[in-house]
Structure 1
């Protein structure tokens, strides 16, 4: 294992941390990692599934938050030199969308791990863009 420290923008490495594959990738950078927090980045491109009518749509924002949770798990397992397990969204609660970002904007998504017990993780997520709050939610994920 090669110990990498954030910020990490190597796209091939990033996609190895998450179970999703092209064209369903909604993270492309790892800005910060700790045991209880992760911050990802994602630059919106015209070929993205959720880019339509000049904005990045709501499902893409939710998926960006969920993939940031998956990235946390993937990087944690990478540091242990173990393959990352597959996980699923168990619940999305209190999701609020305030702004729909535009082409070329970079989303900066911070996920705080509230509880991580027996493969069930509860997080609080927020997405920011251009120093403005774009979206937030609580997400529960479950490892397969």
Structure 2
């Protein structure tokens, strides 16, 4: 499994940033590949809650499950489809007038994609890495 660790400071209060990132209806605004999201059950923002992401091509989707949810501190999401599995963990710490968001992303290819795992996983992680900085830029421009 490949992984990367990032840390970014975003000039938003910790509660506001945590709530924004945890609201799946915002995913399409800052995650390049996501077109739409929907909850799959009545649970929301709790460990075990599940949602579906539809990707920008409109043909593929990913099932996501919240693995860990500690309000205003930590949120971890496991995502799976037949070709891929990833885990994205966000940790939030107040810093000055903003928040330090630490992000750990892990990915591995599944099925036939395993043959191309280093390439596929690295590409996925690079795209997600850009999403983190897209989030920072977008939110700080709103201020």
Give me the TM-score of the superposition, normalised by structure 1. 0.33
Query: Greater CA radius of gyration, 1 or 2?
Result: 2
Which of structures 1 and 2 has the larger relative contact order (alpha carbons within 8 angstroms, sep 6+)? 2
Q: Which is richer in helix?
A: 2
Give me the TM-score of the superposition, normalised by structure 2. 0.33
